[in-house]
């Protein structure tokens, strides 16, 4: 009897041991379910585009909360966000990206506020085989000549901006002549080049191009040359709230000389420097009062609750990047390997505060809605308010495929 009981005891121990071993093996195979997913954000938290970086970070955090129902996890894996300041300098952006990749071991990169910063980091995404979601940098070369398969972009590109502006001008005055005034770096130069192509398609004529250094504070000579060219429209391509030309444009009475101004709506701080633009038109990447959908309603309400003010120009871009990443990870079951993510992200559509976006398979550029607006004076606002003329649908601003895939 003792032998039987002892044998049964041994069998029980072996059964429990096997079960524990099985559980341990199972945990190893699904252990990734508890390993954090690390996302590294490369943003300008200081320097010329500081406000853009902070807006994008706030939007990304809000987007994660929205997409995960506040849990900050996907497929059982918690999400950790590591933010680094590029200081709006390409060499610093590269150093910080290497830190995120080598020390923090991030699974996915998001950035940058500056096109020059983003272009410095793109090769690292390829070298380390990490997905990089570009937001809010817009230079065409990011999804064009400098693109690699690890790059996806939720931000619009310069060609989408250009097509939106050309569409708006051609809608108002077919065959118009247009002068361009832009900053002398990747954003301004590529934006101008893209507009020249878009204008030709829309039957518009570019009569003058002026480029001011990033540190310029006196724009008199540039503006005077534009006035002398006597265009129908002046298209201003500008980023940042420092050293803006708006006061001098108004002081030199450009609109009163019969030159209508067309520009992208800037962030709220810069809008406050644009008095005199009432009645002028433009296009908008985003202004919180333009989109009419439930996600934007949630964003506006939640942003006011957390920060005491409405979301700004690049807040929804950060939000959209977060939503896209979460949706892709849901599709892969939490697998962060680049090959798996590329497979599900190519052609993927996802809902954002601006409506539906789609990553085009050919170059991973997100196709998206932009807005034709008019600046208007409204009671209770200390800036000219962008007011909707019409939504410019994604198919209207679908840019040419410019990569070498």
User: ω before 5 within 30° of 0 (cis)?
Assistant: no
Whole-number Å distance between alpha carbons of 151 and 104: 20
Whole-number Å distance between alpha carbons of 305 and 22: 48
Whole-number Å distance between alpha carbons of 301 and 309: 9
Whole-number Å distance between alpha carbons of 176 and 169: 7
In sequence order, what E strands does 86-172 have? Answer: 108-111, 131-134, 151-153
Whole-number Å distance between alpha carbons of 288 and 311: 6
CATH 3.40.50.2300 fits 159-284+371-397, yes or no: yes
pLDDT digits (tens, 9 = 90+) for 79-102: 999 999 999 999 999 999 999 999
Please give the pLDDT value at position 166: 94
Q: Which residues of the chain form CATH 3.40.50.2300?
A: 33-156+291-368, 159-284+371-397
For the chain, which residues score pLDDT lower than 70? 1-33
Tokens 């994604």 — which residue?
A: 394
pLDDT digits (tens, 9 = 90+) for 124-146: 999 999 999 999 999 999 999 99
CA 267 to centroid of chain Cα atoms: 14
Q: Global pTM?
A: 0.87
Please give the pLDDT value at position 24: 35
Please give the pLDDT value at position 37: 98
* Sheet hosting strand 131-134, strand order edge to edge: 73-74, 77-85, 37-43, 108-111, 131-134, 151-153
CATH superfamily of 33-156+291-368: Response regulator (3.40.50.2300)
Please give the pLDDT value at position 34: 81
């Amino acid at each position: 009897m003792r032998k039987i009981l002892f044998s049964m005891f041994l069998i029980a121990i072996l059964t429990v041991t096997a079960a524990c071993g099985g559980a341990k093996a199972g945990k190893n195979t699904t252990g990734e379910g508890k390993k954090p997913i690390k996302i590294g954000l490369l943003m300008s938290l200081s320097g010329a585009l500081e406000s853009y970086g902070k807006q994008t970070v706030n939007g990304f955090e809000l987007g994660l909360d929205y997409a995960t129902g506040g849990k900050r996890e996907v497929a059982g894996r918690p999400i950790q966000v590591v933010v680094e300041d590029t200081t709006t300098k390409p060499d610093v952006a590269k150093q910080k990206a290497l830190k995120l990749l080598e020390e923090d071991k991030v699974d996915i990169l998001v950035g940058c506020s500056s096109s020059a910063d983003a272009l410095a980091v793109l090769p690292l995404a390829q070298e380390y085989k990490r997905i990089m979601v570009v937001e809010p940098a817009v230079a065409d070369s990011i999804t064009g000549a400098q693109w690699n398969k690890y790059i996806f972009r939720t931000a619009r590109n310069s060609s989408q901006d250009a097509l939106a502006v050309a569409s708006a001008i051609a809608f108002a005055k077919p065959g118009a002549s247009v002068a361009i005034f832009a900053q002398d770096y990747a954003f301004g130069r590529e934006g101008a080049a893209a507009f020249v192509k878009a204008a030709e398609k829309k039957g518009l004529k570019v009569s003058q191009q002026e480029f001011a250094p990033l540190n310029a504070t006196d724009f008199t000579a540039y503006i005077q040359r534009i006035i002398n060219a006597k265009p129908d429209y002046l298209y201003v391509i500008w980023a940042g709230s420092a050293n803006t030309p708006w006061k001098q444009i108004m002081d030199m009475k450009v609109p009163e000389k019969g030159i209508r101004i067309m520009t992208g709506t800037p962030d709220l701080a810069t809008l406050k420097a644009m008095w005199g633009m009432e009645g002028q038109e433009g296009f908008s990447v985003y202004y919180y009062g333009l989109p009419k959908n439930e996600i934007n309603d949630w964003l506006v309400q939640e942003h006011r609750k957390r920060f005491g003010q409405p979301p700004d120009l690049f807040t929804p871009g950060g939000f959209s990047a977060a939503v896209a990443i979460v949706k892709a990870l849901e599709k892969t079951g939490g697998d962060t390997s680049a090959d798996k993510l590329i497979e599900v992200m190519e052609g993927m559509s996802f809902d954002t505060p601006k409506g539906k976006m789609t990553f085009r398979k050919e170059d991973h550029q997100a196709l998206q809605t932009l807005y034709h607006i008019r600046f208007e004076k409204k009671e209770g606002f200390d800036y000219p308010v962008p007011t909707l003329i019409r939504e410019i649908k994604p198919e209207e601003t679908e840019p040419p495929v410019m990569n070498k895939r």
